Protein backbone atom coordinates (compact mmCIF):
# COMPACT_ATOMS: atom_id res chain seq x y z
CA UNK A 1 0.00 0.00 0.00
CA UNK A 2 1.21 3.45 -0.85
CA UNK A 3 2.28 5.79 1.93
CA UNK A 4 0.52 8.72 0.28
CA UNK A 5 -2.86 6.95 0.48
CA UNK A 6 -4.53 8.07 3.76
CA UNK A 7 -7.12 5.27 3.61
CA UNK A 8 -4.41 2.64 3.37
CA UNK A 9 -2.55 4.22 6.28
CA UNK A 10 -5.64 4.26 8.48
CA UNK A 11 -6.48 0.70 7.45
CA UNK A 12 -3.03 -0.44 8.62
CA UNK A 13 -3.36 1.51 11.88
CA UNK A 14 -6.79 -0.03 12.55
CA UNK A 15 -5.42 -3.54 11.94
CA UNK A 16 -2.52 -2.82 14.32
CA UNK A 17 -4.95 -1.57 16.98
CA UNK A 18 -7.02 -4.75 16.57
CA UNK A 19 -3.94 -6.95 16.95
CA UNK A 20 -2.75 -5.05 20.03
CA UNK A 21 -6.04 -5.54 21.87
CA UNK A 22 -6.15 -9.31 21.47
CA UNK A 23 -5.27 -10.06 25.12
CA UNK A 24 -7.91 -7.55 26.30
CA UNK A 25 -10.53 -9.20 24.05
CA UNK A 26 -9.65 -12.63 25.42
CA UNK A 27 -10.08 -11.40 29.00
CA UNK A 28 -13.42 -9.79 28.14
CA UNK A 29 -14.64 -13.01 26.50
CA UNK A 30 -13.71 -14.89 29.67
CA UNK A 31 -15.60 -12.37 31.85
CA UNK A 32 -18.66 -12.63 29.58
CA UNK A 33 -18.53 -16.42 29.66
CA UNK A 34 -18.13 -16.40 33.45
CA UNK A 35 -21.12 -14.09 33.81
CA UNK A 36 -23.59 -15.96 31.63
CA UNK A 37 -22.40 -19.56 31.26
CA UNK A 38 -19.79 -20.24 33.89
CA UNK A 39 -16.16 -21.23 33.49
CA UNK A 40 -15.14 -24.82 34.08
CA UNK A 41 -12.23 -25.57 36.38
CA UNK A 42 -8.93 -26.29 34.68
CA UNK A 43 -7.93 -28.75 37.39
CA UNK A 44 -10.35 -30.29 39.87
CA UNK A 45 -9.03 -30.83 43.42
CA UNK A 46 -10.10 -34.49 43.16
CA UNK A 47 -11.56 -36.48 40.25
CA UNK A 48 -15.23 -36.40 41.34
CA UNK A 49 -15.25 -32.80 42.64
CA UNK A 50 -18.23 -30.68 41.60
CA UNK A 51 -17.81 -28.23 38.77
CA UNK A 52 -20.57 -25.88 39.86
CA UNK A 53 -21.05 -22.36 38.54
CA UNK A 54 -22.40 -19.66 40.86
CA UNK A 55 -23.20 -16.41 39.06
CA UNK A 56 -21.37 -14.09 41.43
CA UNK A 57 -20.50 -11.50 38.77
CA UNK A 58 -24.08 -11.27 37.56
CA UNK A 59 -25.37 -11.07 41.13
CA UNK A 60 -22.98 -8.22 41.97
CA UNK A 61 -23.89 -6.35 38.78
CA UNK A 62 -27.63 -6.77 39.37
CA UNK A 63 -27.21 -5.41 42.93
CA UNK A 64 -25.30 -2.33 41.73
CA UNK A 65 -27.32 -1.56 38.60
CA UNK A 66 -30.40 0.00 40.30
CA UNK A 67 -28.32 2.64 42.09
CA UNK A 68 -26.49 3.52 38.86
CA UNK A 69 -29.77 3.73 36.92
CA UNK A 70 -31.31 5.85 39.67
CA UNK A 71 -28.38 8.26 39.61
CA UNK A 72 -28.65 8.54 35.80
CA UNK A 73 -32.41 8.98 35.36
CA UNK A 74 -33.93 9.19 38.82
CA UNK A 75 -33.33 12.90 39.36
CA UNK A 76 -36.13 15.44 39.06
CA UNK A 77 -34.50 16.83 35.93
CA UNK A 78 -31.67 15.45 33.82
CA UNK A 79 -29.80 18.72 33.51
CA UNK A 80 -29.65 22.11 35.18
CA UNK A 81 -29.15 25.25 33.14
CA UNK A 82 -27.62 28.50 34.39
CA UNK A 83 -28.89 31.79 32.92
CA UNK A 84 -26.39 34.25 31.51
CA UNK A 85 -28.38 37.15 33.01
CA UNK A 86 -30.36 37.01 36.25
CA UNK A 87 -33.67 38.15 34.73
CA UNK A 88 -33.73 35.03 32.51
CA UNK A 89 -34.29 32.60 35.41
CA UNK A 90 -37.95 31.75 34.55
CA UNK A 91 -36.99 31.08 30.94
CA UNK A 92 -34.09 28.92 32.13
CA UNK A 93 -36.40 26.81 34.33
CA UNK A 94 -38.74 26.36 31.35
CA UNK A 95 -35.78 25.31 29.19
CA UNK A 96 -34.70 22.76 31.82
CA UNK A 97 -38.17 21.23 31.93
CA UNK A 98 -38.49 21.23 28.13
CA UNK A 99 -35.09 19.53 27.77
CA UNK A 100 -35.95 16.97 30.45
CA UNK A 101 -39.31 16.14 28.85
CA UNK A 102 -37.82 15.76 25.39
CA UNK A 103 -34.93 13.59 26.58
CA UNK A 104 -37.13 11.28 28.64
CA UNK A 105 -40.23 11.08 26.47
CA UNK A 106 -39.11 11.79 22.90
CA UNK A 107 -35.83 9.85 22.75
CA UNK A 108 -34.60 6.38 23.63
CA UNK A 109 -32.28 7.77 26.34
CA UNK A 110 -33.84 5.88 29.27
CA UNK A 111 -33.71 2.54 27.45
CA UNK A 112 -30.15 2.89 26.20
CA UNK A 113 -28.67 4.25 29.44
CA UNK A 114 -29.50 0.93 31.14
CA UNK A 115 -27.36 -0.91 28.55
CA UNK A 116 -24.56 1.63 28.99
CA UNK A 117 -24.64 1.08 32.76
CA UNK A 118 -24.52 -2.70 32.26
CA UNK A 119 -21.42 -2.25 30.07
CA UNK A 120 -19.83 0.01 32.71
CA UNK A 121 -20.32 -2.60 35.40
CA UNK A 122 -19.19 -5.53 33.24
CA UNK A 123 -16.36 -4.03 31.15
CA UNK A 124 -15.37 -0.94 33.16
CA UNK A 125 -16.43 1.45 30.39
CA UNK A 126 -19.78 2.28 28.90
CA UNK A 127 -20.16 4.12 25.62
CA UNK A 128 -23.25 5.91 24.37
CA UNK A 129 -23.25 7.20 20.83
CA UNK A 130 -25.45 10.28 20.39
CA UNK A 131 -26.60 10.92 16.84
CA UNK A 132 -29.20 12.95 15.03
CA UNK A 133 -31.82 10.66 13.48
CA UNK A 134 -32.67 12.44 10.25
CA UNK A 135 -35.74 10.28 9.59
CA UNK A 136 -37.29 10.91 13.02
CA UNK A 137 -35.92 14.47 13.31
CA UNK A 138 -34.69 13.85 16.85
CA UNK A 139 -31.68 12.79 18.90
CA UNK A 140 -31.05 9.05 19.16
CA UNK A 141 -28.82 7.22 21.63
CA UNK A 142 -27.04 3.94 20.92
CA UNK A 143 -25.35 1.92 23.65
CA UNK A 144 -22.15 0.63 22.06
CA UNK A 145 -20.57 -2.63 23.16
CA UNK A 146 -16.88 -1.92 23.90
CA UNK A 147 -15.98 -4.85 21.62
CA UNK A 148 -17.34 -2.84 18.69
CA UNK A 149 -15.03 0.14 19.19
CA UNK A 150 -11.45 0.28 17.95
CA UNK A 151 -9.04 2.95 19.18
CA UNK A 152 -5.22 3.04 19.26
CA UNK A 153 -3.81 1.03 22.18
CA UNK A 154 -2.30 4.12 23.84
CA UNK A 155 -5.66 5.93 24.03
CA UNK A 156 -6.74 6.80 27.57
CA UNK A 157 -9.75 9.03 26.77
CA UNK A 158 -11.93 9.09 23.67
CA UNK A 159 -11.42 12.82 23.26
CA UNK A 160 -7.68 12.18 22.83
CA UNK A 161 -8.00 9.29 20.34
CA UNK A 162 -6.30 9.68 16.97
CA UNK A 163 -9.16 7.70 15.47
CA UNK A 164 -12.29 5.90 16.64
CA UNK A 165 -13.82 3.09 14.62
CA UNK A 166 -17.33 1.91 15.43
CA UNK A 167 -17.95 -1.59 14.07
CA UNK A 168 -21.58 -1.96 13.03
CA UNK A 169 -22.66 -5.58 12.67
CA UNK A 170 -25.25 -6.21 10.01
CA UNK A 171 -26.62 -9.18 8.13
CA UNK A 172 -25.85 -9.73 4.47
CA UNK A 173 -29.51 -9.11 3.59
CA UNK A 174 -29.55 -5.80 5.50
CA UNK A 175 -26.35 -4.78 3.74
CA UNK A 176 -27.82 -5.58 0.34
CA UNK A 177 -31.04 -3.71 1.17
CA UNK A 178 -29.17 -0.48 1.92
CA UNK A 179 -28.59 1.51 -1.30
CA UNK A 180 -25.83 3.57 0.39
CA UNK A 181 -23.49 0.55 0.42
CA UNK A 182 -21.54 -0.78 -2.55
CA UNK A 183 -23.40 -3.79 -3.97
CA UNK A 184 -20.48 -5.58 -5.62
CA UNK A 185 -20.94 -9.33 -4.98
CA UNK A 186 -17.19 -9.90 -4.65
CA UNK A 187 -16.94 -7.13 -2.02
CA UNK A 188 -19.91 -8.58 -0.11
CA UNK A 189 -18.17 -11.98 0.01
CA UNK A 190 -14.95 -10.41 1.28
CA UNK A 191 -16.50 -8.28 4.04
CA UNK A 192 -18.75 -11.11 5.19
CA UNK A 193 -15.66 -13.27 5.74
CA UNK A 194 -16.32 -15.59 2.81
CA UNK A 195 -13.68 -14.77 0.17
CA UNK A 196 -13.91 -16.79 -3.02
Which residues of the chain have a pLDDT value below 70? 1-3, 194-196
Q: What is the pLDDT of residues 51-61, one digit of tens each?
A: 777 777 778 88
Q: What is the pLDDT of residue 62?
A: 87
Q: What pTM value is reported for the model?
A: 0.73
The span from the CA of 64 to the CA of 132, in Å, is 31
**Cα 173 to chain centroid, rounded:** 24
| CA separation for the pair 48, 177 (Å, rounded) | 54
Using an 8 Å Cβ cutoff, are 129 and 141 in contact?
Answer: yes
pLDDT confidence of residue 196: 57
* Residue pair 43/51 in contact by the 8 Å Cβ criterion: no
Compute φ and ψ for 129, nearest 5 degrees.
-100, 125
Domain boundaries, the chain: 6-41+49-163
Q: How far apart are CA 192 and CA 174, in angstroms?
A: 12
> What pLDDT is stored for residue 188 in this prediction?
85
CA distance 105 to 99: 10
Within 10 angstroms of residue 150's Cβ, the number of other Cβ atoms is: 20
Amino acid sequence: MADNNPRATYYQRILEALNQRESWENRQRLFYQARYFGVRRKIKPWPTAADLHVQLIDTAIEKLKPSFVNSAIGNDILSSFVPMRQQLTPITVSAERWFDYNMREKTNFQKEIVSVIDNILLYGRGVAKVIWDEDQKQIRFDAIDPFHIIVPSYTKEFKDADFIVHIISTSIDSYKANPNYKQNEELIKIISGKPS
